[in-house]
Amino acid sequence: MAAAGAGDQSEEVSHQEKINGKSEANETKSLVKPSGQFIIRDELLNRTHKFLGLLNTTLQHLQLEDETLLHIPELEVEDLPSNPEMVESLEQCLMNWQTQITIVIEEQKNKKPQAPGPLAEIALWQERASVLNALSEQLNHPVVVKIVEVMTKADAGIVLTLEGAIAELTKYRLESDDNIRFLKTLERHFMNLATGANFGVILETIPPLMESLQIVWMISYHYNTNDRMVPLMERIAWQLCERVTQAIDVHTLFKNNREVAKSKVYEAKEVLSQWKTSYFERRGEIEELSKASRWEFDRKKLFEKTDYMASVCQDLYNVLQILEEFYNIFGPELLSVTGDTKHIDEVLRTVENLVVPLEEAAFNPFNISKMSSWKMMMQDFNTAVQAIEAEAMHFIDESFKTLRSSTDAFDMLLKFKHIRTREVISNHLMKKLDDILEQYCKEVDRTREIFETMKDKPPLNKNEPPVAGAIRWAQFLFHRIKFAILPFLKVPEMLDCEKNKVVKKYVEMAEQLKDYEAAKYESWMAETEHNLPSLMKKPILAMVTSKNSTQTELVCGLRYIVNFAPEIKEIISEAYSLEALGYTVPDLAQNVALQENKFISNLINRYHSALDSLNEAHVVMLAPHIKVVRKDISLGFKRLNWNSLGIPDFINQSLQTVTKFEFVVSQIHEHEKAIDSKLQSMMMANLLKFPSPDASNDLPGIKEFCEHIERERVKTVTMLAKKYADIGVLITRIEQLSVETSTGRAKCMADYYQHWEHRILDTLTKMVQRNIQAFNMALMGDKALFQITAILSAPKIVLQPQSNEIYRLLVQCITDCVVSTKQFVRWMHGTCIKCPPQHVGAEDKLVTFNFYSDVCQLPHIKESCVAVSQNIQRLLFSIDQYLYHWKRYRVLWEKNRTIVNEKFAARKPSFVMYDYKLQSLARIKQEVMLEPQFKNEHSICLNLELLAHTVREIAEAWISSLGSLLNKPAKEDLFNLRDEFMVRKCV
């Protein structure tokens, strides 16, 4: 607790306040007030310290019980006078008590505090009070009192000696209790000094501490002498010095944030100064009380070290202040003016090296014995500072001879007026006004040179008109010299003669620029008022045709443009730009600009946008609508010019016509989006939808698989046929919008009908192609789709259904997919109406024209069907190759087991031969049982359960037949063996 690291905590607090934008050390005296969290912290530490004190007292009582325990004999006190031996024993006991009391008193008197701080003195008196009170309590024991009464009658001299020791014990016990009572009133203050969160807590603690010391001095019976009070105050001074030493480390002080370091050093100095100030304030109050004794202590003991440490803190504060002043001078402001980065960096490195000797000091600056070394080090520091000041002034002199910007230099001087810097350098800077004014005059001269060089061809921004650009450029030059001189005129330090010279140069340049602007504007006004009326007689529109051959392309390539002559466009551009610069422009130019903008944004662009969204079929179909729009717009290049009063009516009428045309085009596009959606749905339709396996993963057979595909195909084709019929309805609606008929056979839409019929054929082709390819990928995929069964049909192993039937069923699925296009009947030529059945040639049978004949003849459709057919054959061949593996068991069903076994039995083989034969059959049976029950070959699952069961039964039949033949000779041999045993038994 005594080394709670208050310095580090103070640094954290200061750093946190810096983050919040507050500085803890100002130019004037300021103290840091402890926040609520630090008050809670200190209160917790104080109460913890008290609790630890109680624990220590209890432990001391327990430890001192044996040391201070008086030996009390266990005797019957009533019988003692009649027993001379016992009386003699008690005399010895009293002598021991007196000796023990004297030893304890001497030990306590000789004890010293265990630490240099004030809390150690409280601990000393607490221990002394504990020991003496414990000893006094034992002397009040009833047995001890009775023994003393008995021995008073027997030998009063011994008792008088004991009572003298008890009296001395009582004296020191009362003194200890009194001292503890008064020191306890100071304990909280001592704790704040030792464990306070920051120097602000200590600063608040010193005045009340001194007041409490005054009260103790005035009313205490024992702490009212120099012998007692001076050591206590020395301990307080030591504690303050210790806190400062812990908080301020010269070796790391300058590596921290400068504001934080300054705040810490300043507060440390305030703590040390407050100690002395509070003492003299209390001393004065005590001397004013006539009855109180003087408070005159050895000032050297109390303040010599604190005063020295306060002076060291002041030196450190001055060092930090000097560093801050140098960094303020050689900062971004000076760099922006001089541009000499290299030289400024060199000076800053020299400034940083100022503190290197302090950081590398081999001694503690707060050690008073090193006072002379510290003063010598500070003298060297001040000498180095003066050298840097001289170098800085020389650098400033050289830099101001080649100023980069007078404005930046003047702003820098104004900032240095409000920023703490070195006084010598700041005063030197303030003398540079003449150099700044001279620099401003040079800038005005450079501006004049630029103006004279470029006034006939001024620099322009991108797409900027020449007159407005020239005026903007002249205004820019004027504002540049104007804003540079305005701050100069507000400075009283500027000499009148210099001020007049600068103002005169500025006025001359400003008048020249203003004359240039006025001349440019007046010339443009005169030219515009002269040329604009003749330019306004031109038609407001012009027609541009691209070089295309066909009539349709000619309609699409026809474009209207606003018939502005380049001169009019330039006048409009100048008008906009001059208005932005604050100039007035002719009303005629303003009106032309407004009409041009409105026309382009609300008519031409909308018409061109609608026309660009049409294809050739649209243009033919919408020719009447386009003709109406062009008829209204053609007034713009045939009858109207820019002076016409009918321009607003023309714009309104044309906008109405274009709006109607836009509506028709947008509705056509909406219907076409609906048709595209239906075609997309048709193209993505699944005509070969597989049955999904149920929860048991029981795959369907090939016939069930193909029947499911057929059912789903019929449903899908029915739905697609309805969508196909809806396409005709939508095209009829487009016809109604375009030509206002609903026949489905408009002549002007023949190409449009044909366009969509081609789209439908392309969609059906893609649909069939995609389904065939998907079916092919599914057949050759890794997931089984259907199963077939392998059975034994002796002497062959065959599939059920047979391979040719499987091939036919799968190929039929592909064929049906292509044949599905028969459901989509073709339209009659030049219409969107389905073609009815027709007689073809001499045949009586009616023929329905559909898309099948077109789709089935496409080469890529044929290639896809052939690829599926070949893959099916490959799958079936792979199945046959696998079944060849089962032919190794064909001996079981190709030979007649009865004949073969009887021939074997007729040879009367041995039992070993029977056993070999039976073992061979058992192995065959076991191999059959280990054969897989299912075999997946891409999409085909081959079911081998029935085949394996049949082969296993045949093997068992072979074993049973051979066993029956073995039964007869085995039984005969057993009977013969029994008879032989019986004969031998009788013998």
Structure tokens at 907: 């040879």
Closest CA to 663 of 634, 629, 620, 639: 629
Whole-number pLDDT of residue 595: 53
Whole-number pLDDT of residue 399: 57
Determine contact, residues 282/289, Cβ cutoff 8 Å. Answer: no
Ordered by start, the domain boundaries in the chain are 38-252, 253-402, 404-536, 538-683, 885-984
Q: In DSSP terms, which residues pair with 935 in a beta bridge?
A: 942
**Dist CA 793 CA 802 (whole Å):** 12
Residue type at position 689:
K
Mean pLDDT, consecutive 10-residue stretches, the chain (987 aa), reads: 37 36 36 46 63 63 54 59 71 85 87 88 87 86 80 78 87 88 87 83 88 84 84 89 87 82 87 88 75 71 88 88 78 62 79 84 87 89 81 64 54 49 54 60 78 84 84 82 62 51 76 87 83 75 63 58 73 80 75 58 80 85 86 81 76 88 91 93 90 69 91 93 92 88 88 91 94 92 89 82 91 93 90 84 76 90 92 90 81 79 81 83 83 87 87 84 82 81 74
Strand duo 558-562 + 786-793: pairing: unpaired
Long-range Cβ pairs for the range 129-133 (8 Å, 24+): 129/173, 129/176, 129/177, 129/179, 129/180, 130/57, 130/60, 130/61, 130/64, 131/60, 131/64, 131/68, 131/104, 132/104, 132/105, 132/108, 132/169, 132/172, 132/173, 132/176, 133/173, 133/176, 133/177
Sheet containing 934-937: which strands, arranged edge to edge?
796-800, 786-793, 940-943, 934-937
Q: pLDDT tens digits for 931-986? A: 888 888 888 998 888 888 888 888 888 888 888 888 877 887 788 888 788 877 77
Q: 904: number of CA atoms within 13 Å, CB side?
A: 21
Neighbours of 331 (CB within 10 A): 17
Residue 165 has phi, psi (to 5 degrees) of -65, -40
Whole-number pLDDT of residue 897: 80
Neighbours of 80 (CB within 10 A): 20
**Dist CA 928 CA 924 (whole Å):** 6
Whole-number pLDDT of residue 248: 87
Q: In DSSP terms, which residues pair with 539 in a beta bridge?
A: 641
- The set of residues, in sequence order, having a beta carbon less than 8 Å from that of 785 and lying 6+ positions away, is 690, 699, 705, 778, 779, 939, 940
Structure tokens at 653: 């009428």
**Dist CA 603 CA 613 (whole Å):** 16
Residue 396 has phi, psi (to 5 degrees) of -65, -40
Whole-number pLDDT of residue 548: 46
Which pTM does this prediction carry? 0.47
